């Protein structure tokens, strides 16, 4: 079962506005769909990204660069303040469910914390902004951003086991998407990393021989089942994004 702890409160360094960030307590991956590009999608589970988009301004920040201001207490179930009669009734019952404590903690939290919104879902222009904000070489962060751009560009090609296609339109121009993929390949070449991801990028760009060469030169432990499947698709000269399977099905 997926459950959440009380959300963390952050202050945006750009606009000084406050926003909330969900914190996972536990996670159930049943029903997650895995794809050949390495993405894993689950419609009922929001992704946890190290990149944060402020809801108060266009700024994008790395979570590890920020320190939370605090943790927002649990929100009471009822929206209106608890009346004196209800308080008495709950007191007489021994506050079995902690309603009085929840209300007290909520009332004690700063008003601007209680009014804060959650961080926004990252969109294509947010990722581009994060990419432009890298003022010095940082391969790990650049690869993360470019991978997310790649996944967004691939979303239009995600066809699920039931035959349904992801309802999203193309989120990046074809030329920009290909340029992004080429840069990812170059970053992996420089670091001699990401054998399977590099091969998948090459396969999707139609460089089938290069993809096969990379994978066949690696050991089975390095490429795993995903690498084996990518090899087969590259040998068949198939550049399409593929669904690898669904967890629990």
Q: Would you say residue 197 lies in a domain?
A: yes
Query: What's the pLDDT score for residue 78?
Result: 61
Domain count, the chain: 2
Q: Would you say residue 226 lies in a domain?
A: yes
Q: How many CB atoms lie within 10 A of CB 207?
A: 18
52-63 as b/e, with b when 16 or more CB fall inside 10 Å? bbbebeebbbee
139 and 92 within one domain: no
User: 5 is written with which tokens?
Assistant: 């702890």
104 and 73 within one domain: yes
pTM: 0.83
* SS3 of the chain: helix, strand, coil, percent, to 5: 45, 15, 40
Q: How many CB atoms lie within 10 A of CB 148?
A: 20
Residue 110 belongs to domain spanning: 3-118
131 and 72 within one domain: no
Residue 160: pLDDT over 80: no
Overall average pLDDT of the 129-146 stretch: 92
Residue (of 194, 166, 201, 195) closest to 180 by Cα position: 201
Taking only the tens place, the pLDDT of each residue in 24-49 is 776 666 678 899 999 987 654 445 68
Q: How many CB atoms lie within 10 A of CB 66?
A: 15
Q: How many CB atoms lie within 10 A of CB 97?
A: 11
128 and 64 within one domain: no
% of the chain with per-residue pLDDT over 70 = 78
The residue out of 97, 118, 139 marking a domain boundary is: 118
Let me know the angle formed at the C-alpha of 38 by 35 and 41, rounded to the nearest 5 degrees: 55
Overall average pLDDT of the 164-188 stretch: 79
Asked whether 127 and 145 are in contact (CB, 8 A), the reply is: yes
pLDDT band at 241 (very low <50, low <70, confident <90, very high): very high
Its sign, for the CA torsion 241, 249, 38, 8, is positive
Q: Would you say residue 245 lies in a domain?
A: no
The 243-246 sheet, strands edge to edge: 40-41, 33-35, 243-246
User: 17 is written with which tokens?
Assistant: 């506005």
Gyration radius from the chain CA atoms: 23
Q: Would you say residue 246 lies in a domain?
A: no
The residue out of 92, 118, 144 marking a domain boundary is: 118
Taking only the tens place, the pLDDT of each residue in 88-102 is 545 555 555 556 777
83 and 7 within one domain: yes
Which of residues 29 and 177 earns the better pLDDT score? 177
74 and 39 within one domain: yes
The residue out of 65, 93, 118 marking a domain boundary is: 118
Q: Would you say residue 195 lies in a domain?
A: yes
């Amino acid at each position: 079962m997926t459950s959440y702890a009380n959300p963390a409160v952050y202050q945006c360094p750009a606009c000084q506005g406050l926003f909330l960030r969900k914190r996972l307590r536990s996670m159930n991956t049943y029903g997650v769909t895995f794809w050949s590009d390495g993405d894993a999608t689950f419609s009922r589970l929001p992704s946890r990204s190290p990149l944060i988009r402020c809801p108060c301004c266009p700024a994008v920040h790395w979570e590890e660069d920020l320190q939370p201001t605090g943790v927002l207490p649990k929100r009471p179930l009822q929206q209106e303040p608890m009346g004196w009669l209800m308080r008495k009734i709950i007191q007489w019952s021994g506050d079995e469910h902690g309603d009085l404590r929840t209300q007290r903690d909520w009332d004690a939290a700063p008003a601007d914390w209680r009014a804060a919104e959650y961080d926004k879902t990252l969109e294509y222009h947010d990722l581009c902004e994060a990419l432009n904000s890298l003022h010095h070489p940082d391969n790990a962060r650049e690869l993360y951003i470019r991978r997310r751009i790649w996944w967004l560009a691939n979303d239009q090609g995600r066809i699920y086991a039931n035959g349904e296609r992801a309802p999203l339109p193309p989120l990046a121009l074809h030329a920009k998407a290909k340029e992004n993929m080429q840069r990812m390949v170059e970053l992996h070449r420089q670091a001699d990393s990401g054998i399977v991801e590099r091969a998948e990028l090459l396969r999707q760009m139609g460089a089938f021989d290069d993809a096969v060469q990379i994978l066949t030169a690696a050991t089975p432990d390095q490429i795993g089942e995903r690498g084996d499947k990518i090899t087969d698709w590259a040998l068949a000269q198939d550049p399409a994004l593929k669904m690898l399977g669904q967890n629990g099905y």
